[in-house]
Structure 1
Amino acid sequence: MKGFASVLCFSATLMTTWVHAADSRVSLKPFEGIELYAPGHFGNSYEVMGEYEMRALIGEAKFWGCDSYGDWFDMLDCSDPFRAERQVGLGRALWNAKKANFHSAAQLGLKTDFLLTPNHVYVDQRRAPMLAESGGRVFGQLLCPSNQEAHKLILDDYEKLFADLASYGVRLDRLCSCPYDYGGCNCEKCKPWILTWGRLTREIFEIAEKHHPGIEMVLVGWWWEPEEHRQLAEWVDREHPGWVKAMYLHIPYGKTGTADVQLPQGCAKGAFVHIGYADQASPRDLYGLFGPMIASQRIPQTFRDLQAQGVTHLMAYSEGVCDDVNKAIYAGLASCQYPSSEAVLTAYAARHFGTDEPTAAKWAAWLAAWGTPFTRDPVEAQAELEVLLKATPNRNARQVQEWVLKTELFRLHREIESTGKASGGDWTPERLALVEDYWQTREKIHRGLWGLAPPRHIFARQFSSPAWYKSWSEHVGHQ
């Protein structure tokens, strides 16, 4: 009876999902630019994957519909890779990998986009009195571009990077600059920062143009204020008309459209689409900290809203293989190769799980339900999963097992919370044992399946942790 009930429940879930699908089959036209922005940093997949793994991943992005590939050498924790020392440190190793990945993308026929936050420098270049004034949105390994010595050092860094890429055989198609999230300076000389950043970006662009003729300038509107959009647009129109080809506007968490802001004349309206979290914005299933994520409702709704706003270009912000399913949904829908998320998911399951079409459609429904993971019953999900796995030839594939382990991770999470309520919040031996199982299961995903490096910065345990994490860490003395 338990198995029969599970099948009935699973069928109901499938029907519910396809009812939503009818609502999502709103006609879209193909977007003119569909970029995968895949920054390799902080110990994520893109930092640790080898050259051929990344080539396969970029090829997969192209298969689903991406036409461009972008990366950012954010320099965090890295020393200058061009120092005349006979060693290969983190900076040199990461830079070598990025060159190879840009080369692979170009060979596969994708356009290449080099992202930068201009005044963020190598860790061994930070010294007084060149340091930027930090605070608020301004943080990182920052130098003040109004300081003459710092200004020269910044330009010299990019001269070396662009020349090295060119000598490696990479010809960049786009240069993309962002003022914040490892950028900025709050000193009086740099105010307003958006214009200081704009002038610095223009100088760096002219260096890039020398080594990569025909390169185009695009911008990311991440964390901008509306007034900054106005200031920058008026400055560009006055000083460098026609220079900025596209602006990828910020979409806040939980939103599906951009703000209505002023753009430079002739600048295409783009959107910076965060595919690294699920449908549900709060609590947040983010960056693979709870295993793989899916946003099968949020992404198509975002595309409908963006096209209604006149957006023509997209940049997907991705943080690793944790959002592989979302990459497929993003590119498959943006390119109009598929009419709905459900069609993409069915194709994804057939491609990676090795199933027949009816089973792939059931997988599509099961996967889509993880868009709201904190309200899904993980025990029911495991029962449905058991049925699916019996009809799945590639059940041991990474793309399958990451979802198996995610389901177990949420079962443990639910038990940790329920035992906490039963014990009045006390950390009983039973509850502590569940937490150990939780971390062990997450490690199986992060290390066993994804091979991640030691997690740093936004991927650390403290970031977007379960609700019980703070209490547990205080109890056991962990940070």
Structure 2
Amino acid sequence: MKQILLILSTIVMIPASQGEETPTPLFQTRTLYAPGHFGNSYEVMSRFEMRDLLEEAKFWGFNEYSDWFDTIDCADPFIDKHYNLAGALWDRKKENLRTAQVLGFARVLVITPNHVFLDQVRPEIEATKEGRIFGQLLCPSITEGREIILKNYRNLFEDLSKFGVHLNALAFCPYDYGGCACDKCAPWILTFAELTKEIHQIALESHPGIEARFIGWWWTPEEHQQFAEWADREAPGWAKAMALHIPYGKTGVADVPLPKGCERHAFVHIGYGDVSSDRDIYGHLGPVCAAARIEETVNNLKAEGVTGWMAYSEGVFDDVNKALLAGLSSSVYDSTHKILETYAERYFKAAPEYQKKWASWLAAFGHPFDVDLGQSRKTFSGLTQEMESKNWRLEQWALKLRMLELNSQIEASEGWADSDFELAEEYWRTKDELRREVWGLGPQRHVLADRFKRPSWAGDWEKARVLQKN
């Protein structure tokens, strides 16, 4: 009975107040894709922290929530006798999806079909890997491999249903992690299509009405053509939407073939600023702001006939970009500057006379290495000097400014004197403070780890440090 009431509670929509007009959104589908993995915010946040985050996402205009069970390093939780990593991660995802359901979000589970649990990979059934194809992968053209894949998803779908979560859509992605380069699976995109059709049929048993959507991350134009032809021939009307990949530095989607009736969506990366940077992305240099890029993206997507998007997020460091993308797309705000003013008022308690200054200060970090750091420090000090308390949203920006100041000093120095080593240590300590005390993160993995996206001086610093020790 509790599960029935829980599901029914999410169907009842709260109407707008009488006399209050609700603006027509620019995009009907506004999905926050927040995969909990790699040690990011969503992997470590408690259910109450996640609820707070989702409530704010709803305020800005998101209407769907999406997660992915990234099984890297995880054993099958449905046979594991002990409560290990996979079980803990899956329970957290179930809780977050149920929270999203209670808050009125549609729920979307991202699927990378042949990416399986660590203890299921054996040489005789493993996928052939190359290029884009990597991970804990099984070959779906081998009977045993396909059976394991399908059983995994049956377990996940049924467990979600028992927990009271009803999924609205699956979003299938063929790569990162996924794929098989063997002859039997070629062309992979069609093997992927047939496999996803089977997985979707299984999902329908416990989640009636669930849609099949797709993510165009890393697809080639040829693969889009092959998939569209296959879908029109073998499964007309089945593919409901395709979230097309927007490459770094671009602000629109490619003009590629889609199956008939398939909505054109976009996969929007909100983890970096206005310019693509190997150093200021995924939180490596603190929070990000992409006011100009996001405004241009929204305008371009609307002109290209896009009807929805997935905002790809790897943590709370992109909090400002969440507000920018959802705020513009929901039509509640008509400019990024107004959104930044509202952001400053809501989270920094900025008085009306300071909100425009905050908006300009934040927007400048779209080009972080072009910021006038002296002026930025002066403005920030003036805006915050009378603040009685500072929350994590403000603290992360204070630490970003300090990291940029330290980075600038180190880059301007020649050689590695003791004072330079002291600056480098302060830089890393500041980054530690950001990760541990502000974001509460643990060990960072994959692209979030310190070995990636490093400062320009990191290589020389490591060499000099070795010589210093010797």
Q: Same fold, TM exceeding 0.5?
A: yes
Corresponding residue for residue 245 of structure 2: 250
Q: Which letter does structure 1 place at the counterpart of 2:217?
A: W
Partner of 1:219: helix, strand, or coil? Answer: strand
Answer yes or no: is 1:240 the counterpart of 2:230.
no
Contact 1:28-1:304 at 8 Å conserved across structures = no
418, 442, 455: which one aligns with 1:453: 442
The change in CA–CA distance for 1:28 and 1:433 in structure 2 (over 3 A counts) is: farther
67, 73, 87: which one aligns with 1:71: 67
Matches within 5 A, 1:253-332: 253-332=248-327
Matches within 5 A, 1:34-113: 34-85=30-81, 87-113=82-108
Once the two structures are overlaid, the 10-residue window that deviates more, 256-265 or 382-391, is 382-391
Q: How many residues align?
A: 445
Q: Which letter does structure 1 place at the counterpart of 2:447?
A: I
Q: How far did 1:28 drift?
A: 9.6
Distance 2:221 2:394 in 1: 43
Partner of 1:70: helix, strand, or coil? Answer: strand
Q: How far did 1:374 drift?
A: 1.0
Contact 1:278-1:284 at 8 Å conserved across structures = no
Q: How far did 1:284 drift?
A: 4.3
Answer yes or no: is 1:440 the counterpart of 2:429.
yes
Which string of whole-angstrom CA distances, capped at 9 and with x for unpartnered residues, describes residues 244-289 of structure 1? 1110000000100111100000000000000011112135410111
Q: How far did 1:477 drift?
A: 5.1
Corresponding residue for residue 341 of structure 1: 336
Once the two structures are overlaid, the 10-residue window that deviates more, 376-385 or 62-71, is 376-385
Q: Which letter does structure 2 place at the counterpart of 1:452?
A: L
Which string of whole-angstrom CA distances, capped at 9 and with x for unpartnered residues, describes residues 227-252 of structure 1? 00000011011001000111000000
Q: Which letter does structure 1 place at the counterpart of 2:52?
A: A
Distance 1:211 1:416 in 2: 57
Distance 2:24 2:455 in 1: 37
Matches within 5 A, 1:40-439: 40-85=36-81, 87-394=82-389, 396-419=390-413, 423=414, 426-439=415-428
Corresponding residue for residue 467 of structure 1: 456
Partner of 2:370: helix, strand, or coil? Answer: coil
Distance 1:475 1:83 in 2: 49
Partner of 2:96: helix, strand, or coil? Answer: helix
Q: Which letter does structure 2 place at the counterpart of 1:95?
A: W
Q: How far did 1:432 drift?
A: 1.4
Q: How far did 1:225 drift?
A: 0.2
Q: How far did 1:390 drift?
A: 2.3
The change in CA–CA distance for 1:30 and 1:80 in structure 2 (over 3 A counts) is: same
Q: How far did 1:362 drift?
A: 1.1
Which string of whole-angstrom CA distances, capped at 9 and with x for unpartnered residues, describes residues 170-229 of structure 1? 000000100011101111111000000111111110111111000001100000000000
Contact 1:118-1:179 at 8 Å conserved across structures = yes
Q: How far did 1:470 drift?
A: 2.0
Once the two structures are overlaid, the 10-residue window that deviates more, 120-129 or 374-383, is 374-383
Q: How far did 1:476 drift?
A: 3.1
Q: Which letter does structure 1 place at the counterpart of 2:148?
A: L
Distance 1:106 1:280 in 2: 35
Q: Which letter does structure 2 place at the counterpart of 1:335?
A: S
Partner of 1:297: helix, strand, or coil? Answer: helix
The change in CA–CA distance for 1:115 and 1:283 in structure 2 (over 3 A counts) is: closer
Distance 1:259 1:317 in 2: 18
Instruction: Give unpaired runs (5+ residues) of structure 1.
Output: 1-26
Q: How far did 1:84 drift?
A: 4.4
The change in CA–CA distance for 1:477 and 1:71 in structure 2 (over 3 A counts) is: farther
Q: How far did 1:471 drift?
A: 2.1
Contact 2:279-2:454 at 8 Å conserved across structures = no
Which string of whole-angstrom CA distances, capped at 9 and with x for unpartnered residues, describes residues 384-423 of structure 1? 11111025454x211111111110000000011001xxx2
What is the CA RMSD across the aligned residues, in angstroms? 1.4
Q: How far did 1:123 drift?
A: 1.1
Q: What's the TM-score once normalised by structure 2's chain length?
A: 0.93
Distance 1:137 1:128 in 2: 19
Distance 2:377 2:385 in 1: 13
Distance 1:220 1:473 in 2: 39
